[in-house]
Structure 1
Amino acid sequence: MVLITILVASLLLARFMERTTTELLVEARAAQAVRLRGDAYSALEVTLAVLADYRAADGGLWAPAQGWGDPFAWARYEPRAGVTVAVAFEDESGKPSLPRLDTPGLQNLGELLGLAPDDAARLADALLTWTQPDHVPATLGSDLRSYERADPPHHPPQRALRSFDELAAIAVARDFFYDKAGHPTELRAQFAQSVSLYDYPAANLNAGQPLALAFAGLDETQSRRLTDYLGGRTRPRGTPPFFRSAAETAAILGAGAPGLGTEVRCLRIRVRVREGAAVFGLTAVVSPPGGAVIAAEPSPDNAAKEKPAAPGPAKSLAYPFTILDLQETMEPLAAPGGAA
């Protein structure tokens, strides 16, 4: 009887210790996430302050080579002890703006991504049926009746894409972007990497995106001249490694480049904070004054159905950038014994 009592007590104690360890681990993770989140947002504020300084001093943002590629060094920012912080930039406006593309533009994009002309035309028609209220479908399977017969039935929102995940709901288009099992295809990844969901008038050629250059009509010789100049191989000594105006561009290309600009209009900033084995990620998409905007406005019909509440009076913060998107990620600590 004594042995049974000792055995039961041991089992109960083991269960209690296991539960207590799990609860302590959860609390430790939450507390660390709060600390790292504060570090990440502090680093983001420092980065935006440096960008604002450069924009005010130089009259614009053109490329990281302008000097803001290492904002922490410029601002002499040091994280707290035991924490490492890294920042990376991606010029979102170095890609063609998807909301700005019409039928010829979408067909050209499809062909640049490797589609046959007929398939590129079908894809363009499907995308415009989904995004444009005044578009008349020209392809069998893209008409509104196809959506009514779908399972479940749905209707095109007739506004710009808000997420690339919407491609799975677009008739005809999903056949190009997803396989029969519903897995994304390579074309889907290429499409998402090649265009931006944000609305701006011209892609920044300083980003040197090959597809954006080809989409703008630059031939191989012009593209090579541009990349050689940006890479420093043909750039005269003392000139900056970026373009600041259409005149500077024309001097290298020998002609203007419609659809291409020289200014950063939409910037993706990735902040990564590490403390021990824990990593917190913060990704912000920002736009300078006069830069990119979110193009996901509903059509007039949908707007009438979904009238937002009238906003109250708001005080302007005079913030130097508009934050278009903000995402957080937290890589969890490993639990004792290897359990997640």
Structure 2
Amino acid sequence: MSKFRKSKGSILVFVLALIVLLGVLSLRLMKETVQELRHVSQFHKRDDLRTYAYSALDLAVGVLNEFKMIEGTLHAPGQGWGNPIEYSGIDTGKLMVSNDFGDEERQSPVKWSIQLIDESAKVPFSKTNQKDLVALFSVMRAEEDSLVDEDDGQPFYDALMDWQDADDEDRDEGAEDDYYEDLDPPYFTPGKKIENFEEFRMIKGFAYDEDDPDYSGIFYDSLGSETQNLQNFRDSFSFFNRDAVNVNGLSPFLIKFLCGDDERLYEEIMEGPGNSSTDPYYTSLNDPKLRQLAERRGINLSATATMFRVLITVSKGKANFQLHAVLGLEGKGPRPGSNIPKTPSKARSKQNQKIQYPFRVLSLRENENLID
């Protein structure tokens, strides 16, 4: 009888332990399922935020167009168009969202962020001549407070040109397919103009090479992270702008490069128009120091903003949506405040003409697939 009771007790303990184990597993499974559902729901909630992101783009375009119609010419954010949300007076905290969001997330406000960058204040990369590129890479190659050797920029220029040209002949310090074929993994040169900043990661010298540490890594370090040189390059050069460079939005690095060794000119440009103008920005190129700056390098200058990069982020709780766009102004004839005629633009399609959108959309990207 006692053996039967012991056996029965053992079975009961086993069953209870099994129930506890199943309970723990069920609880963990429920937590993982809830976490997975939250992750999947982010993509559904993005559709709701996507509407707000494109509304924010329309808001930015509307503000820019209003200033263009009133002022006639856009010069700098100091005119008032630099912060579209503030100018419009929209209270983003009162914006509502669809029922796809839970009660907790519906209580948190929709956060908008619109950043306007003057893309026309960047130098057209495709029009930068050899002398300026070699000088630029030499400056980046030199350490801080060290002398700049103009020859140090030549290997980077040669590698860049070999990457873009269609032939198989190596320049003196460049690299063609035979060099890239020996890499792991191997790849080939595209034989066409470079189209984005990320492409520099593939070109000899711009990314760090442990076999040649002294002449590599000016854009990407040994960990693959972007260097300050690449950030300065992004802020100063554009793959979209094809015309004159707006002096009102020049990056400090670009001003320093254009001025060269002329420290006095650099300080005067950084100070702005000064007493020569009632506005805190340039409206023409009549200022003597601007004419002096234009003579320093083979770069055409302007005092007009004609192309804009719009960076939009809309978030609600843990969900967020990013939208990047590059917009260009329409128009014919010489550009006001420019020392070169405007490059003719391609004709719009009939459908595009019906919309009568005040800007040309040169590029549009969402979330992970962002511009450059």
- TM-score between the two structures when normalised by the length of structure 2: 0.69
Corresponding residue number in structure 1 for 2:351: 315
Corresponding residue number in structure 2 for 1:220: 263
Corresponding residue number in structure 2 for 1:298: none
- The structure with higher relative contact order (CA 8 Å, sep 6+) is 1
- The residue matched to 1:139 in structure 2 has which SS? coil
Q: Matches of 1:319 and 1:17 in 2, distance apart?
A: 50
2:150 pairs with 1:117: yes
The verdict on how the C-alpha distance between 1:256 and 1:134 changes in structure 2, with shifts beyond 3 A counting, is farther
Matches within 5 A, 1:237-248: 239-247=278-286
Deviation of 1:186 (Å): 4.3
Corresponding residue number in structure 2 for 1:102: 129
Deviation of 1:286 (Å): 2.0
Q: Which of 111, 115, 135 matches 1:84? A: 111
Q: Matches of 1:30 and 1:278 in 2, distance apart?
A: 8
**Structure 2 unaligned blocks of 5 or more:** 1-11, 97-108, 143-148, 208-215, 333-348
The verdict on how the C-alpha distance between 1:260 and 1:6 changes in structure 2, with shifts beyond 3 A counting, is same
Corresponding residue number in structure 1 for 2:246: 204
Q: Deviations along 1:285-310, whole A, 9 cap, x unmatched?
A: 2222269xxxxxxxxxxxxxxxxxxx
**Structure 1 unaligned blocks of 5 or more:** 292-312, 331-340
Q: Matches of 2:257 and 2:280 in 1, distance apart?
A: 23
- TM-score between the two structures when normalised by the length of structure 1: 0.75
Deviation of 1:11 (Å): 3.8
Cα RMSD (Å): 3.2
2:84 pairs with 1:71: yes
Matches within 5 A, 1:297-336: 315-316=351-352, 317-329=355-367
The verdict on how the C-alpha distance between 1:70 and 1:181 changes in structure 2, with shifts beyond 3 A counting, is closer
Q: Matches of 2:202 and 2:291 in 1, distance apart?
A: 44
Deviation of 1:58 (Å): 2.6
Corresponding residue number in structure 2 for 1:38: 51
Q: Matches of 1:8 and 1:151 in 2, distance apart?
A: 49
- The residue matched to 1:246 in structure 2 has which SS? coil
The verdict on how the C-alpha distance between 1:197 and 1:135 changes in structure 2, with shifts beyond 3 A counting, is farther
Q: Matches of 1:143 and 1:13 in 2, distance apart?
A: 59
Aligned residues: 303
2:305 pairs with 1:264: yes
Q: Kindly provide the amino acid, as one letter, of the partner of residue 203 in structure 2.
A: I
Larger radius of gyration: 2
Deviation of 1:150 (Å): 4.5
Q: Kindly provide the amino acid, as one letter, of the partner of residue 273 in structure 1.
A: V
Corresponding residue number in structure 1 for 2:338: none
Q: Matches of 1:196 and 1:113 in 2, distance apart?
A: 18
Q: Deviations along 1:219-269, whole A, 9 cap, x unmatched?
A: 332332232235xx5354xx222222223x34x546472522222233222
| Contact kept? 1:203, 1:259, Cα under 8 Å | yes
Q: Matches of 1:181 and 1:18 in 2, distance apart?
A: 36
Q: After alignment, is 72-81 or 103-112 more displaced? A: 72-81
